[in-house]
Structure 1
């Protein structure tokens, strides 16, 4: 099967330019932002006064309830578990190191530290799609054990290069659960070394100057992509990946350096000499042979994400944030309009245009008077609304926007009017209002520990306007509410709205501050989490905790599938602080701070290597034969550990591990291939087990021989937790039967039987069907 690229959407476009399903995706047009964080205390007062809707300033109407519209909020947790409310199940779809394949025989490995995620529906089928995923940065300690960038071997550097970049993963929903389709013509990896990515725009093939006057070369091709944090989608069917913290990969002098200079042929990673990284990269996820393109017209800075806006008759506009405390918010105005159905034209939209940075008056940052109240910040010292203008970035400044703008504008002026408190997410409401998620800025003189959301409205509603008004819309922090799950959130990161206009928020408190006595201002929050904030009704503006992350992890890239029956969430960097802990030893899980997802450090269960993973969360049907578990891993509390607050204790270790057990075969196979080579069967198991894989083909009636189900082969082996594959080959009798039935379309299936090796482990059975022709 060859990849099928969807046509550029030729449907009427609403004023925001949204794709027909854009309202259901993380990086398309959100449906407004509800009041959150510390403002939820005000929600109670307003509700008591009879005010139910806190966000009536938006004209966006709520849709029908979704499967996620109601749940019992869960309490904060510091445990090494991923937790969702009762009535939901969480299943690990794919983890770092898992293998998947393209139909051309290329064997791929899922990368590390998955961040941005987009679900792209295939051919209008809500049960099948592509996941486009960013892999932000490596973790040398967990990957090969060498934390010293000065002594890395080329082989260790190659491991790190392969682990970053992007993944395109074909997924299908079978019996209500998502699983990876492998092999598939869509499956692909972009790594830190390959493929060659085309560089476009005004700086392509030029030599520019750094802020210190030294030369920096911009080539025409860059080796792969790295530091991909968040991203976005476009209405012409491509995805955008944002290269954020691109500095430090080549060098070996800083605490965050990776030392790639110690491998041959890696000079282009030197960010001072070559401007090959730090760009927005455009991908065609539907074509595994396509060339990614890095757009210099969008500027080079610590890109976090993108959010577009299109008004008919106006140039296409893209908003972006520079994810660093004290940096700015940008807008790109293309020289071109988005024209539905004109794919060749639209693919050049991001190559030509003008980049602007926001100038805020009276000031860009939210500053507090002191570190009072347990370092939660003193009184707010700055205005909560004002005006602004868009200042054009010169072409010569595109190569290093922040440094060169500071040089032109002056540091004092830049800090006053252009600097903000770490813009991690920018989203656009359907009415054109821009919302910016400022995570925090804990620097001296600012002391914004919990972050805020700000809204920006272009003059006259024109996306190409050069002036705007702004106001602080919500701020994070403890709410003072005592009901479990309503304590409030801090350091908001990614935002997404469902079709019912509920706001979903993931948090990004630094791992070094989570559950630490030295960071008492975050103690109320415990682990990072996912929150849902209703937009209207009696609970409008109240942040309800929906999911807890494991130890030292954050949830990233929340994205609903096409029919909103599943929320995909990436679990990034579990156990992140392990390398800095005394006694941490590579290869010895007992010294790791997290054992997730195969084990739980807090429950003293199954010491394991922590692995960043993509999780699918679904509501459990009342009559579901397999309800799964709301806790990953599904283990009982360990000795001295209390049960999870506000819910029954997690299932015992003997609980059926079916939530992560899958089997996968190609959709179709030729009879000749099956006779000669057999079929490759992929599988995944949650824990060490004895697996038996049986391949059966239904042979139709031939002559006097009646129809029958024929077992063509069987393979049994003991395997560790994780993914694997086996080649099941037919015996002589099966080959003869297949030869006699050649020319007919046959139904077949692969059956996986799993028997955990631990005492009391419950057996699991899974199957996947395919066609033989």
Structure 2
């Protein structure tokens, strides 16, 4: 018998403006930089592609460690009926200042912002921060998280540090007059951390590493050395300093980390001083406009001032690869994977040993991308094999996706399900460039790689609702993409709803499922979820009984468990008004579409970077306490340490 439905209270509220301001320069409240029409390819493809032409998936190599069956089968009898691996009682929506987990599970904080990870780094002191201390401490606003095994049974944990919210980092912060010391602390708090864990506890170890906004990087691939990448500090166009706004990422089959540089646009000042028309167009297409920036770093380093270094923004917006096993290695920015606001990249291995990387450009009306390598994977875990395999992402073909639906005339923006019972259709990958060869009329290969958004516009790519994490399933090979939201969809002057993006003023987002053959250029697709309040007729849960599912909004990151279930973290914005969290949903069998809320993160926080294993879940609680009206002088959260402490972004472990 089906479990009795519990009516879940939906609360008022949404993502704080302060988070939007510091994370992405409040891009969602501004006019989207994609002003193209892109009408032609989709219309042509609707006739050229077969709706039911599902393509056989190629062989898949898992890009992560074993992933979860969280609860024991013995415990299932005491819980509601669930798909294998998902036998837990879903939590209720809430606004608690805590990580809320199901009954029968435990949790502990693994690491907090400011915890020392390098030898000699001091213990964290909120009121005595220095750039030197932060360079040896765990960075701010941890997002993507990965675990890798070490031979001695310990683990390597790798984390992105997306951005810094200075109002919550410094007491008495004056946004009009930040100090150079504050700017340098922020530079040190960006980037990545590599930390050895011993039974869920961080230890000081020679493998530990901090990568910041001043760490040297190598620019590699077909655009390396381009005139568009050269600066006074690097006249070769092959070396850059630092990485920032690192959002999601992936673990490669060869044991390295891919990290996506996302909202880099907000850090560069004085775009209004640029007069050359083509350069102004290129900057505007990435949202780089205006005079002073919010953080005003341009006062302390000319690299952030476009009136002095107009090419510096072109050195951000890449997929970064880090070898966490070698703390002396130079991280790489792969130009062959294109430059846009990367959420992340995830790898699938083809039957012939080549690799495909799937990527999303996280902004309204941007696109889905795929890269397919020329070379093939070398097996083995040696440093030599890793160096060979890291070069795979420097030579290959970059594609952008175009979609068509199979229910023409039925999509009116209301989210009403088509008569065939699914939002589905076909699509194709349009080649943009292969190494030194451009497939885009009027653009050189270097221009395609450095200004990929403009190339995708010309190719007629399909505008999507903020494509974020895109990952291939480790066994079926199907590709899952989180489309977070798009409040401008179908509004005046913007693209109307279509079948893959079926709702106007889309506040809640959807999850896309592709059957893709990486060796070819065609795919079929369907929507797995159309998110929101299950009582809303515009929502869809793969045909599952909506009275039995947890409400979910704004899907962001995705992961998989060892039973093949999909796990989703959320990043809500003006949505259902309760705390973000981690959700699980079966992909096969009668429970397909049965969304269950596994945990929620504290008030004001975003749930990020899930690691899902059979006996362990890691969740990154980013920007806890970031609500409007709060700051370091008036904190709205005291998580994770309680009392009167300041909120600190942290990684949390959960287990039964």
The normalised TM-score by structure 2 is 0.72
Change (3 A) 1:338 1:358: same
Are 2:193 and 2:211, in contact at CA under 8 Å, matched by a contact in 1?
Answer: yes
Measured in 2, the distance between the counterparts of 1:310 and 1:494 equals 21
Are 2:113 and 2:137, in contact at CA under 8 Å, matched by a contact in 1?
Answer: yes
Measured in 1, the distance between the counterparts of 2:211 and 2:197 equals 18
Are 2:268 and 2:298, in contact at CA under 8 Å, matched by a contact in 1?
Answer: yes
Measured in 1, the distance between the counterparts of 2:309 and 2:245 equals 12
Measured in 2, the distance between the counterparts of 1:365 and 1:242 equals 35
SS at match of 1:208: helix
Are 1:559 and 1:567, in contact at CA under 8 Å, matched by a contact in 2?
Answer: yes
SS at match of 1:320: strand
Change (3 A) 1:537 1:298: closer
Change (3 A) 1:312 1:257: same
Change (3 A) 1:282 1:152: same
State the shift of 1:474 in Å. Answer: 2.1
Is residue 2:371 matched to residue 1:332?
yes
Aligned equivalent of 1:437, options 474, 482, 496: 482
State the shift of 1:281 in Å. Answer: 0.6
Change (3 A) 1:262 1:311: same
Are 2:302 and 2:309, in contact at CA under 8 Å, matched by a contact in 1?
Answer: no
Change (3 A) 1:238 1:365: farther
Are 1:131 and 1:169, in contact at CA under 8 Å, matched by a contact in 2?
Answer: yes
1:185 alignment counterpart = 206
Aligned equivalent of 1:320, options 351, 359, 366: 359
Change (3 A) 1:483 1:254: farther
1:607 alignment counterpart = 644
State the shift of 1:297 in Å. Answer: 0.7
Measured in 1, the distance between the counterparts of 2:367 and 2:406 equals 12
2:221 alignment counterpart = 201
Measured in 2, the distance between the counterparts of 1:596 and 1:366 equals 50
Are 1:367 and 1:448, in contact at CA under 8 Å, matched by a contact in 2?
Answer: no
Change (3 A) 1:265 1:476: same
1:224 alignment counterpart = 242
2:32 alignment counterpart = none
Q: Whose radius of gyration is greater, 1 or 2?
A: 1
Change (3 A) 1:574 1:22: closer
Structure 2 gap ranges (5+): 1-56, 70-79, 123-131, 271-289, 433-437, 439-444, 491-503, 537-544
1:592 alignment counterpart = 635
State the shift of 1:312 in Å. Answer: 3.1
Is residue 2:624 matched to residue 1:574?
yes
SS at match of 2:572: coil
Change (3 A) 1:391 1:307: same
Is residue 2:528 matched to residue 1:473?
yes
Are 1:23 and 1:499, in contact at CA under 8 Å, matched by a contact in 2?
Answer: no
Are 1:533 and 1:543, in contact at CA under 8 Å, matched by a contact in 2?
Answer: yes
SS at match of 1:248: helix
Is residue 2:180 matched to residue 1:162?
no
Change (3 A) 1:368 1:17: closer
Change (3 A) 1:102 1:89: same
Encode CA deviations 1:255-284: one digit per residue, 9 max, x unaligned.
974222111353488885222111111101
Change (3 A) 1:254 1:267: closer
SS at match of 1:347: helix
Change (3 A) 1:438 1:256: farther
Change (3 A) 1:531 1:484: farther
Is residue 2:339 matched to residue 1:300?
yes
State the shift of 1:109 in Å. Answer: 0.7
Change (3 A) 1:367 1:263: farther
User: How do residues 146-545 of structure 1 correspond to structure 2 at under 5 angstroms?
Assistant: 151-173=177-199, 178-182=200-204, 184-194=205-215, 196-208=216-228, 219-251=237-269, 253=290, 257-264=294-301, 266-267=303-304, 272-274=310-312, 275-341=314-380, 342-362=385-405, 369=412, 379=416, 384-393=423-432, 394=438, 395=445, 396-406=447-457, 408-409=458-459, 414=460, 417-429=461-473, 430-445=475-490, 446-458=504-516, 461=517, 463-480=518-535, 486-510=549-573, 513=574, 522-523=576-577, 526-535=578-587, 539-545=591-597
Measured in 2, the distance between the counterparts of 1:597 and 1:124 equals 30
SS at match of 2:117: strand
1:115 alignment counterpart = 143
State the shift of 1:124 in Å. Answer: 6.6
Change (3 A) 1:137 1:344: closer
Measured in 1, the distance between the counterparts of 2:481 and 2:395 equals 25
Is residue 2:546 matched to residue 1:546?
no
Change (3 A) 1:111 1:444: same
Measured in 2, the distance between the counterparts of 1:221 and 1:18 equals 31
Encode CA deviations 1:21-71: one digit per residue, 9 max, x unaligned.
846259xxx9xxxxxxxxxxxxxxxx9xxxx99xxxxxxxx9xx65xx422
Change (3 A) 1:279 1:271: farther
Higher strand share: 1
Measured in 2, the distance between the counterparts of 1:422 and 1:239 equals 23
Structure 1 gap ranges (5+): 1-13, 31-46, 54-61, 211-215, 371-376, 514-518, 600-605, 620-773
Q: Which has the higher relative contact order, 1 or 2, with Cα contacts under 8 A spaced 6 or more apart? A: 2
Change (3 A) 1:534 1:470: closer
SS at match of 2:452: helix
Measured in 2, the distance between the counterparts of 1:365 and 1:157 equals 52
Measured in 1, the distance between the counterparts of 2:109 and 2:225 equals 43
1:138 alignment counterpart = 164
Change (3 A) 1:264 1:491: closer
Change (3 A) 1:538 1:300: closer
Measured in 2, the distance between the counterparts of 1:441 and 1:112 equals 27
Deviating 4+ runs (over 6 angstroms): 103-107, 268-271, 363-368, 380-383, 481-485
